[in-house]
Every structure is written in C-alpha cells, then in structure tokens.
Chain A
C-alpha cells in the first residue's frame, strides 16, 4: 500500500468515525466552544452555527422560521399565489399576528420579532435551543418577542416566575427535540395551555395508554418527532388553519399500512430495513385477526380517516376553548382591573380583556368530509356578512370525492370584529403599551382596529360590528388503544355521531323515508287483512253451525 492508499484508509476511517459519532449522538459537553458562559442567547446560536454551518440557511427556509406559506393551490383561487402562513392569516382566537408581534412571536423560533421590521436573514436571531434544549428549563418570555428573560422576571398575567436561562448548561446538553420542547409552544397556542388545538396539551408529556397509545410509555413510547420527521430541519405535518394543500401530510398508513386491521405494522414486516431503533420502542402488537369485521374495517379506511374512529374524544384531560366571544370583552372590576370569572375547575369563562369563553373537556368531535384541502379568508378578503357563521377556514371534500374521507374536527366558534362597510374582517391591535392603541391598554375597539388595520395595510372605514365565525381544526392527536375506538353503533344508528355528515349512505343511519312508509303500510295492511279475514271466517262458520 502506497502513501496514497494509507491516506485513503485513514480518511475513510475518520469519516466512518465521524458518521458513527453523529449517529450515536454527540457529547456536546466536550466542546470548549459551548463550555463557557453566554451573556445573551444570540451568542449560543453563533456557537451552534460554528459547527452546524449549513443549518441556518435550512432553517431560514422553514415555516417555523418564516411563518409564511406561499401556495397557488388554494381551493377557489388556484393559480394565484397567496400566503397562508401564520404571519398572514386570521383566526378566531387572538385574531392575527400583525400589530401584536411581541406577544405572538414569543413562540417564534427567533429572537426579537417585535414588529414588521424583523430581519429574517439574520442567522444569529435563530433560536436553536428552544427546540434542542433537553434540560426543560429554557423558556421564552410570553411578551418577549421570542427572547427569554435577561434577568429573573415575573409574568404579571399568570404570576409565573421566568428565570434567566443557564445557557452553558443548556448548550452543553443539547439533543433531539423532545415532547417538552415541541410542547413549550404547541401546547400553548391561543394564549394559554390547551386553548387552541383540542388535542395538543400537557397530557401528552406522560400520557396513560388510554390518553395516547403512541406517546404513552406503556404504549409506543414515541415522541413528536417520530411522526413529525424532518429533512434539513423542515418538519413534516400540516394543520389546516395555516395550510390549504393536500401535501406533506403525516399518515397513519406509513407505519400501519393501508390495511391496518388485518396487517402487522409496516416496520414489523421490514427486518432488513434499519427500523431497529424504532422497532424496539414499538408497542408490541399482536397481529390483527383477519376476520370479516376486520376486513370491513379495512374497507372503511377508503372513506373514513383513521382518526375518526380512533380519536373518540378530544381534550381528554384538559379543557380547550370552543367559543370565544370578543364582543363581551371590556368588563372591569371596581378596582379598574379586567374582570375574570373562572369555572369550578379554575378555567376562565370570562376575561375582561378577551370576552366570554366556552370550554370543553372529553368532547365529541364534529365530523365532515375532508380531502386535505381548505380555503381561507385572507387579510383584506371581502366577506359575505349575510352568511353567518362565517367560515374562516372552510375545509373541502365530499362523499365520493378524490381523497375525501370523513374526519373528526374541533370546531372553534366565536364572535369577532368586522368592518361592515368594507366587508373585511378586522385585525385589532390587542397587545401594546398605553397610548399605542392596543385594546388591552387603551380599551377602545375603534382605536385598536384603526391601529391594527393600518399596520396590516388594509383599508378601514371606521365602522365596526361583530360577526360570528367558525374555524375547523382536524383532530389527529390523542389516539386511543383500539379497544377504546368508536364502536359500530356510534355511527351506524339513527342518532349517531355521523348524523350531520352529508350525503352518502350509512347503513343503520340512512333510509328512504318513502320506502319505509310504503313498507310499513304493506306490512300493516297484511296484518289487518289476515285479522279481518280470520274474524270473518270465524263469525261465518259459527253462524253456519247455528243454522
């Protein structure tokens, strides 16, 4: 072997060692670059990027960073490029990000998005550790535009103490995102814990099998990223309040196959594929029985989403908001503070800052046909105020339609502001200091709306009214063990769960009323006929005997 050969072998071995190091996880505490004190979070990012030098450009393409999602495939507006990202859509919780940045962007994976001038190309503003912290101690401040606190601070609304992060400890122990890191934002959407999704809350951190069979340590023991896989930091998964296309969705079929009731898990059938790490953590399922009922269930998957039967209730442990009426906001206590009314479990049902709420726990989903697409009322869109409730996102799909299946939904309902003259939904400025026009400081909807609409660049007539709105949230978390799934009778009955699902034919629910009436008349007529005939025979034979 010549010198070249030796060099080749050594390089190969080094490369292999490097790769195996990567695969087994790197001990970041060995790196001097991280084993030092950091004064501000951007310094941590700079240290990360020294080695992970391609990651910043990947991150900057993702929805987690941009909060935009450009598409030309929105139903009803195909061919026209629109942006349906978080930054640009309206909802019926806190309405919109625009003009409320420092509050909303406390969940942005960046530092300092406090207004419309945030620099999305500054790579040091990426917050690496909000996803990669493994200590569970890193927290962004609720009104800090994505920053954690620089010194220990109490958040006045919840009276919770936020501590200055121990950056050295966090940086030297970074790892894969866990449930805790994903949950630090995704469990708190809508301004508080469990408020928004109806199936994303703290109960997923250590759930029983009955709450979530995949994420329970007695079940699959899986984390968020086991399904929400990523490529170059782009994480799979769609939510149809900020998505409109049928793409990048995560499917149950990926592991459970297209015939989940008669087949074993896909990974169990792939001994030659490198699913070993995954496999060891899998809930040891018995091979499903291949009988008539199971084949019927397999056939159901053509028209019914897995979630429809396997998520019997949403928000099983914590209450989620299902109604938010902003028109009731504004009441104050005699001391001049926003009035707060809580129910007997401590959940707010009224808040002077936000209005009236209705909450639900262990709630039955609503069901609709859904083909993986939805349209959306975008900022500045003309609305039809006579159509009430107004659907902010309208999921599409129909019986027999391509990719259409019956899906379970949490439907969020509420009342919010609109401009009756321009016929647009209003983006009010809610959060900001006194004098900024923010509703939560100045208590004037007109000022809040003027400010918000100005920042959003949407014309505002100065007129305001309330409109009832709806939002559709497909449910896909909180999958229960199969024995807790929805039963046949839950849907195949006259007063079942699918009573309001349009069209198609559900045996046990549907009938032809005309046929039923004719049928019962025929049966009743036959009965009456034989009774009359029999009586006449009896009477006439008696008579004959008497004669």
Chain B
C-alpha cells in the first residue's frame, strides 16, 4: 500500500530549489568564464557568477544551521549496510520491477547510495568549490597575490565537471520513484508517497 507522508519541510524545499537554480546558473556562467561559449560576455558572466556564488555560500550557511538545529544531518550519516543491494537494484532489480531494497520514509529519507553521494557533495565538492571560488575571487581583486591563478582554476573546474555529471544523474534518478514525476512533485509539495511496508520495517 502507498501512503502519503509529509517528507520535505518548507525550508528543505526552499533550500533544494534555490540551490538547484543557483547551481544551474553557476554552471552556465562558469563555463562561459571557462571560455566554452560567449553569451553574456566575460565581464557580465564573472560578475553574475560572483553574485550567484556568494548567494549560494549564504544559502549553504543557512542549510548547515538548519541541518544541525533540526537534527536532519543524521540522514546523511554514511552506511555500507545494504549499499551493495542498492547498487545491484539499480543494475538489475529495477529492470525486473523489484522493490527498492531500502525504501524511503520520513524517518529514513536517504538510502545508503544517496547518503554516500550527498555526504561526498557536502564534505568534498562544496568545500572544494567554495574555497577555490573564494581564493579565485580575492586573487582577482583582493589581497591574495598569486603568480598565477592556474591551479585554483583547474581545481575549480574539476569540481564543476563533477557537479554537471552529478546534476545529470541526480535529475535522472528522480524518475525512479513510484511514477516518473512523483519524486519531483514531492520536492515541490513536500508530500511524498511511501510504501507502508517500509514504514513498519
């Protein structure tokens, strides 16, 4: 049986979507600064990238506060329990119409695979992008003096490529819910569909 539960709180949804919009915008302006295309012009791309970057940093600060004060951070504690099963599910079971080895409930929002991915995002990618971004910013006009911004730029780009790949897979994964759009709908409304069996487990 499928049951509707209130999965994502207001702040969580606001955080998710504004972060998504900012990351899309940062990718778009960032690759223009990288020299891949000319749409906004280099100057405007840089300035807007900076605004978006600082906005995202502010949002991340709020999100960290929210995660700790609400205890939501516990969802991200990595575990290897059933990790294998989750992987096998996406490689095999999903094609046979099997049920997910780890279901989603409001108490356990994330499966082991998601936990690993999001923890990686939070403790590796975000700090990499924020630190290289800030150094880049203050080299460009502040008191950081470097002979060359080369390695800062390269590490920032590494993070950017990973983020693009993450975004592609992340968006695709939202289609693996009860219906193709149910996960996305849930992230808008907050209400998700869960298996009652998962709740009782």
Q: Is the CB of A489 within 8 A of B42?
A: yes
Task: Assess the B33–A507 pair: CB atoms within 8 A.
Answer: yes
User: Is B172 within 8 A of A534, CB to CB?
Assistant: yes
* B139-172 to A contact mask, C-beta < 8 Å, 1/0: 1111001011110011001101110110011001
* Docked pose: A510 CA to B148 CA in angstroms: 11
Contact code string B38-52 (vs A, CB < 8 Å = 1, else 0): 100111001100100
Which listed residue (B35, B145, B157) contacts A494, Cβ 8 A?
A: B35
Q: Once the chains are docked, how many angstroms separate the CA of A381 from the CA of B139? A: 44
The answer, yes or no, to whether A492 is at the interface (CB within 8 Å) is yes
Contacts of B68 in A (CB 8 A): none
Q: B157 touching A488 by the CB < 8 A rule?
A: no
Taking the closest CB of chain A, its distance from the CB of B27, in whole angstroms, is 10
- With A293-B43, A293-B47, A295-B141 in contact, is A522–B162 under 8 Å at CB? yes
Stretch of B15-23, B79-87, B92-100 lying at the A interface: B92-100
Q: Which residues in A have their C-beta under 8 angstroms from that of B43?
A: 293, 487-489
Shortest CB distance B121–A (Å): 15
What is the CA–CA distance of A536 and B165 in the complex, to the nearest angstrom?
20
Does B175 touch A at the CB level, under 8 Å? yes
Closest to B137 in A: A292
A296 contacts B141, C-beta separation under 8 Å: yes
| Per-residue A-contact encoding for B93-133, CB less than 8 Å = 1, 0 else | 01111000000000000000000000000000000000000
Q: What distance in Å separates the Cβ of A472 from its nearest Cβ neighbour in chain B?
A: 24
Q: How far is the CA of A544 from the CA of B93 in the complex (A)?
A: 13
The docked-state distance in angstroms from the alpha carbon of A92 to that of B176 is 73
Chain A residue numbers with a CB within 8 Å of B164 are 519, 522-523, 526
Point out the residues of chain A lying under 8 angstroms from B178, CB to CB. Answer: none
The answer on a CB contact under 8 Å between A504 and B157 is no
B10 within 8 A of A: no
A504-B148 contact given A489-B43, A511-B34, A527-B168, CB 8 Å threshold: yes
User: Which residues does chain A contribute within 8 Å of B149, judged by CB atoms?
Assistant: 505, 507
When the two chains form their complex, are residues B165 and A523 in contact, meaning their CB atoms are under 8 A apart? yes
Chain B residues with CB under 8 A of A493: 35, 38, 42
Q: How far is the CA of A299 from the CA of B176 in the complex (A)?
A: 50
Give Cα distance in the complex from A45 to B172, angstroms.
90
CB-CB under 8 A from B46, the residues of chain A are 296, 488, 507
- Considering the complex, give the chain B residue whose CB is closest to the CB of A291: B47
CA distance A400 to B142 in the complex (A): 17
**Structural contact, B169 and A526, CB atoms closer than 8 A:** yes
Complex interface: chain B residues within 8 A of A540 (CB): 95-97
Partner of B175, one of A504, A534, A544: A534
The complex places the Cα of A304 from the Cα of B168 at a distance, in Å, of 40
Q: Is the CB of B147 within 8 A of A522?
A: no
- The 3 lowest CB-CB distance pairs between A and B, nearest first, are A519-B161, A530-B172, A505-B150
Assuming A510-B150, A511-B34, A515-B157, what are 14 further A-B pairs, CB within 8 angstroms? A299-B139, A299-B142, A399-B147, A399-B148, A400-B147, A492-B33, A492-B35, A493-B42, A505-B150, A515-B161, A519-B161, A523-B161, A533-B90, A537-B95
Query: 10 A-B Cβ contacts within 8 A?
Result: A295-B141, A493-B35, A504-B148, A523-B168, A525-B165, A526-B165, A530-B168, A530-B172, A537-B176, A540-B97
